Structure 1
Amino acid sequence: MATNGTPTRWADEVDEEHQQQEQQPPAAAAAAAADDSDDDGPPPGFEKPSAGAAAGAAADALAGSLKVSEEPPVDDPDLSIRAERLIDDGPGEIKTVVADSTMYTSAKTFEELGLSQELLQGLYTEMKFERPSRIQAHNGSGKTTCFTLGMLGRVDTQLQAPQALCVCPTRELVVQNQMVLERMGKFTGITCTSTAAADYAMSRRTRIHDQVIIGTHGKLRDWMQKRVLDVRSIRILVFDEADEMLKQDAFADDTVRMIKQLRAANPQIQILLFSATFNERVKRFAQKIVPDANQVFIPKEELSLDVIKQYRVCCPRGADKVKVLKDMIFPLCEKLGQTIIFVRTRETARSLHAVMEKEGHKCTSIEGGMDKQARDKVVKEFRDGTTKILISTDVLSRGFDVTQVTLVINFDVPVERDLQTPAFETYLHRIGRSGRFGRKGAAFNLVTGDAERRVVDEIQAYFKHDIPEVPYDDEDQFVSVLKKAGLTGDDA
């Protein structure tokens, strides 16, 4: 996290205007800025292959799809649902870089933050929080709460004008952050609007008077250019999942222009850049655009999420990955909550969905070719627990919080666009979908061939966290590791 200013932060969608730009995977822990979009791909993308396709043939087709030479459609994070409450497991190892002059100190109670009674009431009665949480090395530690509280705390309730601006990479995250803000600010009377509002249109001409604005980068830029969003009273600017936006050069340039425009309107504006992960390149860029920021970093070794048991399963053929799922994992998981299976391409998501349903497993899938209604339906069904198994491209690798997820399976190991370089941050975010808020969880990496083995080896070395092998055809070994992860009838 990085903050700058005066006292008191897929994706498949990155913003309608940037749909055709190359998208890139997630990154490390602390400062940066903006990108956004909506997909206009063919609806709905939720079809199943013909009923006559045999499971074995589909599995073999899956195996072949892992070795294509041309780049098939892949998706970046489509950020979604966040934490409902904070769990404080301990401080971990935290590195802080504090500006020379700062008023920031840690608080043990919310009262110490000088918040209004109305805002405190929202924290205690709506959010069910008890006290501020330490910054932690696991997911679900409260980034959304942190910047939402910061925005609400800076608003002058007597001034009916935009005062707080939050920039997000995707429409889904806009919706989520607005939901959290409205819950937290329920008793304050503070008004909020977003670019995801039902009455939103790129041709909007009505001047905005709401006090908090949340939106994707391109739509916010459109509002500012058309002068329907007056930024003269903006006191606080937040970039959520800042690294996702800064990693793309075009969005990084737009971010610099947005910051310059807002600083020109209000030199004292506070800038906050949030992300669970941040690589060194993005970190350096962030430090340039907010050079006097206070910074909080957690070493990557602390981000390996020790509460999640991680394993690799080496499979002779791609079809054996399906066999592991249907014979070795799901039949043995008596205490399995919900499962997310991550794949690399949209076609693999569709094909694996068909195979799993053919084998009798009720599941859903989500990928970037789906329209909004189909995608929202899948997310709602999984959140409600209607479906237990969700197959996803990396659209849901970030920010998607369902507390009952206990198992993550990397059907395809995460790699960058060159198909060779391990996507370290993507791996961290993927496995972090399980074991939320201190709960038990497990992650299985299904690998075929030397290239995928090398990727897992490099991930293991990068995070300094052992990823032991489980033989793909040894039922006793699977029983043992699932027991250790707390996913069988008897906990270890």
Structure 2
Amino acid sequence: MADTIDKLPTGEASSSSVEASITGENTEPTTTTTTTEKTKWGDVEDDDEEEANAVSELNSLSIKEEEKHESILDEPEDSNIKAVTSGDTPYTSASRFEDLNLSPELMKGLYVEMKFEKPSKIQAISLPMIITPPHKHLIAQAHNGSGKTTCFVLGMLSRVDPSLRQPQALCICPTRELANQNMEVLQKMGKFTGITAEVAVPESNQGATFARRAPVSAQVVIGTPGTLKKWMAFKKLGLNHLKILVFDEADHMLATDGFRDDSLRIMKDIKRVNPNYQVLLFSATFNETVKDFVQRTVESANQLFVKREDLALDSVKQYKVVCPKEQDKIEVIKDQIMELGDIGQTIIFVKTKVSASKVHKALAEMGYDVTSVHGSMSQEERDKIVKEFKDCLTQVLIATDVLARGFDQQRVNLVVNYNMPTKYETGEPDYEVYLHRVGRAGRFGRKGAVFNLLLENGDDKEVMEKIERYFGAQVKEIKSWNSEEEYKSALKEAGLLDE
């Protein structure tokens, strides 16, 4: 969403938690604390790391071309979204936000705060499904940077009764960074509604104060699964009035190597007291195994999917560079890509802290404002570094995959895969993580480039080949790793170097 997030007023809920009221004054958005528990990837990132119910009809929903207006979102024109509806509820694609019958307060937030002009394609198709009674479940996939966050944030805000001071909407995210980011979007979009919201992520200054805190009265809660599960276990998060449950990055939340157990437990606890809640699952990626499981778990859901070969972002140019040795990767970054290109902000993805340290040192010595973020940092350190980068105080962010998913910074137009994404257990390519990394550049259809740095000896080239086969795409190769002319040509093609 937008780069700049207005900070909203807060009211104390207890000595260890704060609830944010979504109104118009300016203060910092807040987080809440919990007691220590066994942590998983969504709470603290470690450096290493069948068939659905038959649907009754198939409706392809689209926006009529003549109804399209100018928009600040330059969305992919080939976003072929396949819509499968369950049941007989008719849905009409929303070419304007006015078609959604939203409250005046929400409309003001969309136009004044978010500065939107019209729905993006995924918003136009999914929002009627989300807010139209009988509020059926939705499984939705769309391109990175296409506006998915607005879909579920607006969906949550539209379902909340502002007069009922109880939790009514719950959003579960795999990382604290994504939870905080979604909270910022919700606070901005809901600025004029008076709806209250609270973020539930782990804090290092947790303690006995959590047990003494009052039950959550915020109407929207956004957090990571471990913290939310603890709140529920301690009877701090009531579920009786919950209307809508959102899984952001849903493929990871319901994958066997992700948060499936926690997610299913939360769903079961909600269903026990409130069987009529709505479930929304959003992600840019759903592999076939996860898709099959989701379709069986969330029954009779409306579905939106994009063909695998259509997922690659055409606005983001992808390149591969075969380097003779590890040190050459650093030379490529600092002497070719960064030196030649007209770069806004850059994210460099690495596998280990050692690699992060090498790249950090080399770029810092050249005068770049560089920061690094990884799972062994404290929560406060991670939050501080991410905020500095989002405030454009630093130019380069070196990160492990803690930031591969959902991180939205519109000034990022360069992503470097210093290490290719592979599964820790098998060494096989992690296709979903690759796509999410690519999606950090070229947000909302803006131009961007991704450089994949491959070692000549080792598994990198095979991993890259498998990724190309999986997505049915050929990644252009820089034939000579130290050819300035080839990099200039690539950067021009990507729109990162003037003619």
Please tell me whether residue 125 in structure 1 is matched to residue 145 in structure 2: no
Distance 1:472 1:283, change over 3 A: same
Deviation at 1:137, TM superposition (A): 5.0
Native 8 Å contact 1:18 1:37 kept in 2: no
Q: Distance in 1 between matches of 2:293 and 2:212?
A: 33
Structure 1 residues 384, 438: CA separation in 2 closer, same or farther (over 3 Å shift)? same
Amino acid at match of 1:132: P
For residues 259 and 238 of structure 1, what CA distance do their matches in structure 2 show? 11
What is the percentage of aligned positions where both structures have the same residue?
49
C-alpha deviation, 1:445, in angstroms = 0.9
Separation in structure 1 between the aligned mates of residue 249 and residue 350 of structure 2, nearest angstrom:
22
Pair 1:352 & 2:326 matched: no
Offset at residue 90 of structure 1 (A): 3.0
2:323 pairs, out of 279, 295, 315, with 315
- Partner residue of 1:95 out of 82, 93, 105: 82
Matched residue of 1:311: which SS? strand
Q: CA deviation at 1:87?
A: 3.9
Partner of 2:289: 281
Q: Confirm or deny: 8 A CA contact 1:202 1:219 kept in the other structure.
A: no
Question: 1:412 aligned to 2:386?
Answer: no
Question: After superposition, what is the alpha-carbon deviation per residue over 1:352-381, rounded to whole angstroms, capped at 9, x for unaligned?
Answer: 212332344442222112222322232222
Q: Distance in 1 between matches of 2:110 and 2:497?
A: 37
Residues in 2 aligned to 1:486 and 1:403: alpha-carbon distance in whole angstroms: 15
Q: What's the CA shift string for 1:200-239, capped at 9, x where partnerless?
A: 8642441222221222222222222222222111111111
- Which residue number corresponds to residue 488 of structure 2? 479
User: What is the one-letter code of the residue matched to 1:477?
Assistant: E
Decide which of 292, 310, 313 is 1:305's aligned counterpart: 313
Q: Which has the higher strand share?
A: 2
Q: Distance in 1 between matches of 2:240 and 2:72?
A: 34
Partner of 1:184: 189
State the TM-score, normalized to the length of structure 2: 0.79
Partner of 2:145: 140
Q: Say whether the 8 Å CA contact 1:86–1:140 is kept in structure 2.
A: no
Q: Where do 1:100-119 residues align within 5 Å? A: 100-119=87-106
Counterpart check, 1:447 vs 2:454: yes
Change in Cα spacing, 1:168 to 1:138, as seen in structure 2 (3 Å) is closer
Letter of the 1:256 counterpart: L
User: Shift of residue 241 of structure 1?
Assistant: 1.3
Q: How far is the alpha carbon of 1:270 from its aligned partner?
A: 0.8
Q: Counterpart in 1 of 2:136?
A: none
Normalising by structure 1, report the TM-score: 0.80
Opposite residue 74 of structure 1, the aligned amino acid is D
422, 440, 458: which one pairs with 1:433? 440
Separation in structure 2 between the aligned mates of residue 87 and residue 16 of structure 1, nearest angstrom: 43
Q: Which residue is equivalent to 1:156?
A: 161
Q: Which aligned pairs between 1:161-176 and structure 2 lie closer than 5 A? A: 161-176=166-181
Post-superposition shift, 1:347? Answer: 1.9
What RMSD over aligned residues (CA atoms) do the two structures have, in Å? 2.4
Report the more deviating stretch, 279-288 or 260-269.
Answer: 260-269
Match in the other structure for 2:376: 369
Q: Tell whether the 8 Å contact from 1:346 to 1:368 is kept in structure 2 after alignment.
A: no
Mean alpha-carbon deviation: is it higher for 337-346 or for 89-98?
A: 89-98
1:198-209 matches, cutoff 5 A: 202-209=210-217
Shift of 1:386: 2.5
Q: Which SS does the other structure have where 2:476 is aligned?
A: coil
Matches of 1:16 and 1:85, distance apart in 2? 43
**Larger relative contact order (C-alpha < 8 A, sep ≥ 6)?**
1
CA contact (8 A) 1:169 1:217 kept: yes
1:292 aligns with 2:316: no
SS for the counterpart of 2:319 is strand
Alpha-carbon contact 1:441-1:485 (below 8 Å) kept: yes
**Matches of 2:160 and 2:320 in 1, distance apart?**
49
How far 1:139 sits from its partner (Å)?
Answer: 1.9
Structure 1 segments, 4+ long, off by >6 Å, are: 197-200
Alpha-carbon distance in structure 1 between the residues aligned to 2:286 and 2:210: 32
Counterpart secondary structure, 2:167 = coil
Give SS of 2:406's match. Answer: coil
Name the counterpart of 2:37.
17
**Partner of residue 332, structure 2:** 324
Moved more, 268-277 or 200-209: 200-209
* Residues 341 and 390 in structure 1, CA contact (< 8 A), matched pair in contact too: yes
> Per-residue deviation at 1:253?
2.5
The answer to whether the 8 A contact 1:362-1:389 is kept is yes
Residue 473 of structure 1 aligns with an amino acid whose one-letter code is: N
CA contact (8 A) 2:172 2:222 kept: yes
Query: Contact between 1:140 and 1:436, CA under 8 Å: does it hold in 2?
Result: yes
What letter matches 2:489 in structure 1? S
Look up the SS of the partner of 1:17 in the other structure.
coil
| Contiguous gaps of at least 5 residues in structure 1 | 1-14, 24-35, 42-72, 76-83
Task: State the Cα deviation string for residues 300-357 of structure 1 (Å, max 9, x = none).
Answer: 1111111111111111111111222232222211x22122111111221122212332
Following TM superposition, by how much is the alpha carbon of 1:179 offset from its aligned partner in structure 2, in angstroms?
1.6
* 1:85 Cα offset (Å): 7.1
Alignment-derived partner of residue 269 in structure 1? 277
Kept in 1, the 8 Å contact 2:321–2:481? The answer is yes
Matched, 1:74 2:48: yes
- Find the counterpart in structure 2 of residue 378 from structure 1: 385
Tell me by how many angstroms 1:147 deviates.
0.7
Aligned residues of 2:167 and 2:220 also touching (Cα < 8 A): yes
Q: 1: CA distance between counterparts of 2:415 and 2:247?
A: 28
The size of the alignment, in residue pairs, is 421
The range that moved more, 310-319 or 257-266, is: 257-266
The 1:239–1:18 alpha-carbon spacing in structure 2 relative to 1, beyond 3 Å, is farther
Shift of 1:194: 2.3
| C-alpha distance in structure 2 between counterparts of 1:446 and 1:38, whole Å | 27
- In structure 2, what residue type is equivalent to 1:118? E
* Counterpart residue identity of residue 17, structure 1: E
**Higher mean displacement: 163-172 or 354-363:** 354-363
For 1:6, the equivalent position in structure 2 comes to none
Matched with 2:7 is none
- Structure 2 gap segments, 5+ residues each: 1-34, 50-70, 123-140
Find the residue that maps to 1:444 and give its secondary structure: strand
Q: Distance in 1 between matches of 2:337 and 2:258?
A: 43
Q: Name the structure 2 match of 1:78.
A: none
Moved more, 352-361 or 287-296: 352-361
Checking the alignment, whether the CA contact within 8 Å between 2:142 and 2:148 is kept in structure 1 is no
Q: CA deviation at 1:252?
A: 1.7
